[in-house]
Amino acid sequence: MGVTTVTDVRQTGRPDEGVGAEGVLAKLFRSEQGGHEQVVLCQDRASGLKAVIAIHSTALGAALGGTRFFPYASDEEAVADALNLARGMTYKNALAGLDHGGGKAVIIGDPEILRSEELLLAYGRFVASLGGRYVTACDVGTYVADMDVVARENRWTTGRSPEQGGAGDSSVLTAFGVFQGMRAAAEAQWGEPTLRGRRIGIAGVGKVGHHLVEHLLDDGAEVVITDVRKDAVDRITTRHPDVTAVRDADVLVRTPLDVYAPCALGGALDDPTVAALTATVVCGAANNQLAHPGVEKDLADRGILYAPDYVVNAGGVIQVADELHGFEFDRAKAKAEKIYDTTAAIFERAAADGVPPAVAADRLAEQRIADRTPAEHWLRPATGVTG
């Protein structure tokens, strides 16, 4: 994957905690989940910015991935999240057919309190300092308006508004891609690529989830939802009184369902959740849904078909990648529609190899990366944004 560089990762955690700095360094240099090329800790005291930019791979081109703005419990947790998300973007971009490696950034703090023009501009300068090795976009806690500000300091920012030459809200094609993956899962599980007559439970109806609701209702599905934000739930139930809302995700997973769609934060598929699931398909928009290695096997052992998250939620990154070439919605949508074919191919590979779909997806992504000569020029300052 290239040369690994760690900038300012300090020994602030105890080695026995596993999540402190020692745990981070072990993950980077000794874990099979590591292999990151570069991790940069960014701080601007004047604006209050504390951020982590993780570049996992540039083998296929400039690392592309969004910026998450979130009130992490600790700095170490933020670093760990950035590492996991960046690695996921490498695999996501590879299977989406994009000529981009994987990267991700997190801004530490509550966006409702800390978000400011000064902070976003400072963050934009840190992105610029990487000289095109990392291309950013929106993620949880960041929006199109934020990217317009970040872009004022660098030319490696996507997810901007149409008025600023961007593609706008990437959640539109993210939801469309998840729907395509769900159709492929339905065909594999029930013989038809439709959700008509099926009961779908969606945990998280925010930026992506509320678009997914619309696709499913249009396809004739019955929808049950939950969200930690009452206003998000009310927006759906007011528009669609036939949509059922339940108290929380714990209730949702125990509700009789055909498909469970985690569309909020990662780690949604842990041991208690998998044990309680009534659904026989899991397909959602959240990143890093598997709480730990082995969950994919537990799902398969229970006869639950899992559509790998980084495959089906790639519509958003497809959209922002297209922005780098002069955005055309129809072109990006046509590429996102191929998520159906990619998901179906993964299910076929999984059946042929006798492995869970998550393993089959990793193998296909790693094959594409291995087939490409590493883009060594990304270790030098770039003059453009494409590989």
Active-site positions?
104
Query: What CA–CA distance (Å, rounded) separates 133 from 17?
Result: 32
Query: What CA–CA distance (Å, rounded) separates 275 from 227?
Result: 21
Whether 309 and 296 have beta carbons less than 8 Å apart is answered as no
Angle (nearest 5°) at CA 203 between 339 and 296: 60
- Burial of 213 from C-beta contacts in 10 A (0-12 / 13-18 / 19+): buried
- Give alpha helix (H) positions in the chain: 21-29, 75-95, 111-114, 117-129, 144-150, 171-190, 209-218, 230-239, 249-254, 271-276, 295-301, 309-312, 315-323, 329-337, 339-353, 357-371
Query: What CA–CA distance (Å, rounded) separates 70 from 205?
Result: 18
Query: What CA–CA distance (Å, rounded) separates 304 from 297?
Result: 10
Distance of CA 244 to the CA centre of its chain: 26
Query: What CA–CA distance (Å, rounded) separates 173 from 316?
Result: 5
Paired with 5 in beta bridges are 38
How many H-runs (helices) and E-runs (strands) does the chain carry? 16, 13
What are the distances in angstroms from CA 276 to CA 49, 107, 143, 165, 257?
40, 34, 34, 46, 11
Name the token pair of 19: 């999540």
Whether 135 and 157 have beta carbons less than 8 Å apart is answered as yes
Q: What is the largest CA-CA distance in the chain?
A: 58
Unique residue bearing structure tokens 């139930």: 237
- Burial of 373 from C-beta contacts in 10 A (0-12 / 13-18 / 19+): exposed
Name the token pair of 132: 């095109």
